[in-house]
């Protein structure tokens, strides 16, 4: 059985179309993370969801140290102006600890990262100094503490350096290594099953008879889920037969945490996906007040959350990114926050229907004055996948906005920010 389960009654039917934010709330309320926790080496943790906070057992850096190659001194031995000549009493390389305090009126040759000796509080870069035999000429007017990195400047022992729920990035792994962690507890990958439905679909690379199209959604949806951190099983194309759809859903539910389909869920006569989900658990067909992607089917199949995306490729991408993405992250045990949109002027005018949230395909362009503006793809057709290749993200227009005039500030969400 799957590790992510929820009750079928989470999807009580609604008569009217839902606002986008209400749909997201319903999706989140319907699921919870039950993914197991496993410990993996740092090199295997990239992109995984951290299951427990990382608390540093060490202070970083452990001692005051030099930020440059140069000479360490007590600031009181430096003149307010001019030059002072001090004997070089010791030499300290990175990884070495001074055996004694620095005597007043002397300097220590020191290298980047080397701990300052007791008695020294300031470092003068070697470029500003002149060595004369066993002495060094040091400039005056240097502030106390210059080029000194204090102990604990980066991390204090006992501090939480990485919070649970973080999808681990390269810099996160570096910080974990900095505090001495060789492995991290992470959530098991979300097991997502993806398939397309429709007799008109064909596998890319094969023959394309009249009336058929190549299946693109399965590849796009699978790639989006993988970018979010899921382990995806491609279940291929299910034919428009009730027995095949029922068996496909039933089999997928046995060893997956989420089932995602595209197309084939409607109120028509070939509505085999809807009937199969209802027979295997329950389905609520949501009509969400969004464009593109008004139809969105959400339900339970054998205890496993089910999402039926629209069949049009742009609608499938947009609804996954803007509506389903938070649910996927919750199932993974990841932080849910939406990326902060870029507030940019629009390089277009656009009239929309009030009461409906709309996502415009857009990219950022430089205006003649050097400012950045959002340029809209001219065709809003939800079957035009080239528009998503052209675009760098989506302009998010709220329900109560009737129109956009050129120069109005709009919210732009880059695809890269949405995918993390």
| 148/134 Cα distance (integer angstroms) | 24
CATH entry, 40-60+154-187, from 3.40.50.960, 3.40.50.300, 3.40.50.1360, 3.90.105.10: 3.90.105.10
Predicted local confidence at residue 309, as pLDDT:
92
Residue 16 has pLDDT above 80, yes or no: no
Predicted local confidence at residue 265, as pLDDT:
61
Using CB atoms within 10 Å of the CB of residue 250, give its burial: 0 to 12 exposed, 13 to 18 middle, 19+ buried. Answer: middle
Query: Which two structure tokens, joined as six digits, stand for 212?
Result: 């058929």
Predicted local confidence at residue 275, as pLDDT:
84
| 99/91 Cα distance (integer angstroms) | 11
| Structural domain 65-149, CATH architecture | Beta Complex (2.170)
Predicted local confidence at residue 85, as pLDDT:
96
Q: Considering only 41-50, 53-62, 104-113, 242-251, which range has the smallest mean pLDDT?
A: 242-251
Predicted local confidence at residue 359, as pLDDT:
97
Q: Does domain 342-419 have CATH number 2.40.340.10?
A: yes
Query: Hey, which residues does 375 pair with through a beta bridge?
Result: 363
Q: What CATH number does the domain located at 8-35+189-332 have?
A: 3.40.980.10
What does the pLDDT look like over 341-381, one tens digit per residue? 999 999 999 999 889 999 999 999 998 888 999 999 999 89
Predicted local confidence at residue 269, as pLDDT:
47
Overall residue count recorded for the chain in this entry: 420
| Residue 199: band (very low, low, confident or very high) from pLDDT cuts 50, 70, 90 | confident
Q: Give, rounded to a whole angstrom, the gap between the first and last alpha carbons of the chain.
A: 29
Predicted local confidence at residue 266, as pLDDT:
58
Predicted local confidence at residue 337, as pLDDT:
75
Provide the percentage of residues in the chain whose pLDDT is more than 90.
Answer: 78
Predicted local confidence at residue 241, as pLDDT:
87
70, 125 in Cβ contact below 8 A?
yes
Predicted local confidence at residue 271, as pLDDT:
65
Predicted local confidence at residue 267, as pLDDT:
55
What does the pLDDT look like over 129-150, one tens digit per residue? 999 889 999 999 999 999 999 9
Q: Which residue has the higher pLDDT, 345 or 242?
A: 345
- Average pLDDT of the chain to the nearest whole number: 91
- Give ∠ CA 199-203-204 in degrees, rounded to 5: 135
102, 85 in Cβ contact below 8 A?
no
Residue 53 has pLDDT above 80, yes or no: yes
Domain locations in the chain? Answer: 8-35+189-332, 40-60+154-187, 65-149, 342-419
Q: Helix 325-332 to helix 20-29 angle, to the nearest 10 degrees?
A: 20
- Closest among 221, 204, 201, 205 to 213, alpha carbons compared: 201
- For the four alpha carbons of 403, 407, 413 and 414, in that order, the dihedral sign comes to positive
| 308/283 Cα distance (integer angstroms) | 10
What does the pLDDT look like over 216-232, one tens digit per residue? 999 999 999 999 999 99
Q: Helix 325-332 to helix 217-228 angle, to the nearest 10 degrees?
A: 50
Q: Which residue has the higher pLDDT, 284 or 184?
A: 184
Q: What is the mean pLDDT of residues 104-115?
A: 97
What does the pLDDT look like over 264-294, one tens digit per residue? 765 554 568 888 888 999 877 678 999 998 8
Q: Which residue has the higher pLDDT, 284 or 327?
A: 327
Predicted local confidence at residue 297, as pLDDT:
87
- For the four alpha carbons of 127, 132, 134 and 138, in that order, the dihedral sign comes to negative
53, 160 in Cβ contact below 8 A?
yes
Predicted local confidence at residue 320, as pLDDT:
96
Predicted local confidence at residue 268, as pLDDT:
55
């Amino acid at each position: 059985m799957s590790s992510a389960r929820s009750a079928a009654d989470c999807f009580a039917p609604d008569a009217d179309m839902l606002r986008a934010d209400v749909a997201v709330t319903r999706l989140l309320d319907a699921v919870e993370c039950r993914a197991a926790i496993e410990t993996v080496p740092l090199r295997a943790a990239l992109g995984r969801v951290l299951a427990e906070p990382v608390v540093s057992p060490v202070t970083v850096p452990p001692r005051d140290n030099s930020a440059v190659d140069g000479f360490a001194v007590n600031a009181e031995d430096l003149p307010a102006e001019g030059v002072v000549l001090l004997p070089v009493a010791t030499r300290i390389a990175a990884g070495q600890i001074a055996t004694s305090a620095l005597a007043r009126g002397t300097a220590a040759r020191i290298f980047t990262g080397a701990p300052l000796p007791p008695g020294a509080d300031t470092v003068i870069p070697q470029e500003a100094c002149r060595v004369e035999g066993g002495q060094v000429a040091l400039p005056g007017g240097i502030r106390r503490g210059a080029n000194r990195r204090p102990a604990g400047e980066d991390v204090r022992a006992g501090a939480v350096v990485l919070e649970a729920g973080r999808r681990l990035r390269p810099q996160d792994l570096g910080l974990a290594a900095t505090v001495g962690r060789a492995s991290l507890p992470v959530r098991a990958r979300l097991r997502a099953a993806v398939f397309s439905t429709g007799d008109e679909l064909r596998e890319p690379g094969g023959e394309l008879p009249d009336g058929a199209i190549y299946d693109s959604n399965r590849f796009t949806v699978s790639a989006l889920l993988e970018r979010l951190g899921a382990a995806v099983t491609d279940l291929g194309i299910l034919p428009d037969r009730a027995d095949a759809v029922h068996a496909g859903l039933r089999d997928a539910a046995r060893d997956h945490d989420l089932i995602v389909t595209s197309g084939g869920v409607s109120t028509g006569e070939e509505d085999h996906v809807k009937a199969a989900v209802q027979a295997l658990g329950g389905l609520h067909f949501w009509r969400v007040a969004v464009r593109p992607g008004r139809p969105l089917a959400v339900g339970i199949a054998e205890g496993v959350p089910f999402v039926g995306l629209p069949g049009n490729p742009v609608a499938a991408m947009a609804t996954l990114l803007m509506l389903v993405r938070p649910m996927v992250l919750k199932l993974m045990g990841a932080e849910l926050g939406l990326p902060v949109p870029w507030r940019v002027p629009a390089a277009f005018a656009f009239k929309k229907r009030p009461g409906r949230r709309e996502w415009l395909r857009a990219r950022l362009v430089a205006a003649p004055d050097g400012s950045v503006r959002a340029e809209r793809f001219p065709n809003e057709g939800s079957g035009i996948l080239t528009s998503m290749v052209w675009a760098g993200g989506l302009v998010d227009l709220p329900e109560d906005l009737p129109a956009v005039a050129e120069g109005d500030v709009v919210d732009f969400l880059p695809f890269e920010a949405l995918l993390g």
